[in-house]
């Protein structure tokens, strides 16, 4: 979006000043294409993160977290704030009660370094019961690492005690 605005301002100035516009006409589509390609990469990066972090039971969180999360990471979920040091505690707390998780993305939209999702979480607990939640979240990825997650989780199925699974530590 920033590139589009920059291009329009440059184009208006060049027309106003009488400078030829053929150079700008060739540069702008390339920048837009690069921006779109990066947005698609960000969406795929997030899908992969979810598979590794939640769906793969063999993931070593102590190795994955430093690779995928910024030290400046912040997560706002259902009125609670978590930081980088809370990620491991959060996943270990979930793993204590959950035996299997499947994430299904219903919608995923990217703009710049942000990806917004509506996704479903289907979790099977170790006691055999099921938890289902609908999540609406905004993620920000910078330098190949997650820096922000701003989410709202709505529990569809599960017990009252399961309501904090999105933020449990």
What is the reported pLDDT for 109? 98
For 39-58, the pLDDT digits (tens) are 999 999 999 999 999 999 99
Instruction: Find the domain containing 150 and state its range.
Output: 2-164
Domain count, the chain: 1
What is the rounded CA–CA span in Å between residue 85 and residue 65? 10
Task: Tell whether 86 is covered by a domain.
Answer: yes
Region of poorest pLDDT, from 13-22, 32-41, 67-76:
13-22
Determine, yes or no, domain membership for 85.
yes
Q: Does a structural domain hold residue 144?
A: yes
pLDDT averaged over every residue in the chain: 88
80-85 average pLDDT score:
95
**Torsion of the alpha carbons at 38, 66, 82 and 105, rounded to the nearest 10:** 40
Q: What is the pLDDT of residue 29?
A: 75
Q: Is residue 169 part of a domain?
A: no
What confidence score (pLDDT) does residue 7 get? Answer: 53
pLDDT attached to residue 3? 53
What pLDDT digit, counting tens, does each position of 151-168 carry? 999 999 999 988 888 878
Q: Is 5 helix (H, G, I), strand (E, B) or coil?
A: helix
CATH of the domain at 42: 3.10.450.50
Query: For the chain, how far is it from start to end, CA to CA, in angstroms?
Result: 37
On the question of pLDDT at 85 being above 60, the answer is yes
* pLDDT at 19 > cutoff 70: no
Per-residue pLDDT averaged across 70-92, rounded?
A: 94
Helix ranges (DSSP H) in 18-159: 22-50, 61-68, 84-97
Whether 15 shows a pLDDT value over 70: the answer reads no
Q: Which of 110, 114, 122 is CA-nearest to residue 54? A: 122
* Structural domain includes residue 80: yes
pLDDT (tens digit per residue) in 29-38:
788 899 999 9
Tell me: pLDDT of 143 over 50: yes
């Amino acid at each position: 979006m920033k590139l589009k605005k920059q291009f329009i301002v440059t184009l208006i100035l060049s027309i106003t000043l009488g400078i030829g516009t053929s150079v700008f006409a060739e540069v702008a589509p390339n920048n837009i294409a690069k921006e779109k390609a990066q947005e698609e990469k960000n969406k795929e990066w997030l899908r992969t993160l979810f598979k590794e972090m939640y769906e793969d039971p063999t993931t070593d969180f102590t190795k994955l977290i430093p690779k995928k999360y910024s030290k400046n990471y912040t997560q706002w979920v259902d009125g609670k704030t978590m930081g980088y040091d809370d990620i491991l505690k959060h996943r270990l707390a979930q793993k204590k009660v959950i035996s299997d998780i499947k994430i299904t993305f219903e919608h995923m939209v990217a703009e710049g370094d942000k990806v917004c999702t509506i996704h479903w979480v289907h979790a099977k607990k170790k006691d055999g019961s099921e938890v289902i939640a609908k999540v609406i979240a905004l993620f920000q990825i910078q330098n190949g690492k997650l820096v922000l997650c701003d989410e709202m989780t709505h529990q569809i199925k599960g017990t009252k005690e399961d309501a904090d699974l999105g933020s449990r530590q």
